[in-house]
């Protein structure tokens, strides 16, 4: 297997890295800037969490453009869909953790401890009303898919396990989630 080849053209300007390679997408299909996504997720109080969500949103957009612009082999299609689903799950988890931490801080409670996604979902639904029952169920299913990143835990063939329809459902739910919380 080949290794990644990185070309550092200018050690100060990282945007020039790999400038000797073919451009992957036309300008119209470049992902939005991180600042664009930071603005969309401005309701996330922790700056670092908001930045990390913005970077994951860029990656998500990149994966969508990759799928839409190129003929993707079947196994790679399934795994690309898996990456999309897992990325959506990570974004939702980070956002919920931040929102709960912010609510606790406003209520004069101590800092929220890192907890697993299941507990976080219970808190978001039952204690803080951040998500409705439909989103709670969706996130539990999403959590199950995220847990399958461990190949030994998968009891199915990865090359047919994930579909564009599942990935699209996750992308739509992520946008619904963001729009509801943005208000």
pLDDT, tens digit, 9 for 90 and up, residues 100-158: 999 999 988 877 677 789 999 999 999 999 999 999 999 999 988 887 766 665 566 77
pLDDT tops 80 at residue 98? yes
Compute the 3-state secondary structure of the chain and give helix, strand, coil in percent, each to the nearest 5.
Answer: 65, 0, 35
Measured CA distances, 177 to 41, 86, 96 (Å): 11, 16, 10
| Among 3-12, 108-117, 119-128, 174-183, the least confident range | 108-117
Q: What distance in Å separates the CA atoms of residue 34 and residue 32, rounded to the nearest whole number?
A: 7
Is the four-CA dihedral 118, 121, 123, 126 of positive or negative sign? negative
At residue 127, what are phi and psi to the nearest 5 degrees? -95, -35
Three-class SS state of 33? coil
């Amino acid at each position: 297997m080949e290794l990644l080849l990185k070309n550092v053209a200018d050690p100060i300007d990282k945007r020039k890295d790999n400038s000797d390679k073919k451009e992957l997408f036309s300008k119209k299909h470049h992902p939005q800037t991180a600042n664009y996504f930071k603005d969309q997720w401005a309701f996330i109080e922790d700056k670092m969490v908001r930045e990390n969500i913005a970077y994951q949103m860029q990656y998500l957009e990149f994966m969508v453009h990759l799928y839409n612009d190129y003929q993707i082999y079947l196994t790679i299609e399934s795994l690309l869909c898996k990456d999309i689903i897992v990325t959506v799950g990570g974004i939702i988890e980070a956002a919920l953790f931040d929102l709960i931490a912010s609510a606790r801080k406003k209520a004069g409670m101590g800092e929220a401890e890192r907890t697993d996604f299941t507990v976080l979902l219970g808190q978001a639904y039952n204690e803080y009303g951040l998500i409705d029952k439909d989103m709670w169920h969706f996130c539990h299913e999403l959590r199950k898919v995220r847990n399958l990143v461990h190949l030994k835990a998968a009891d199915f063939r990865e090359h047919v396990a994930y579909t564009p329809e599942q990935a699209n459902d996750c992308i739509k739910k992520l946008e619904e989630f963001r729009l509801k919380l943005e208000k």
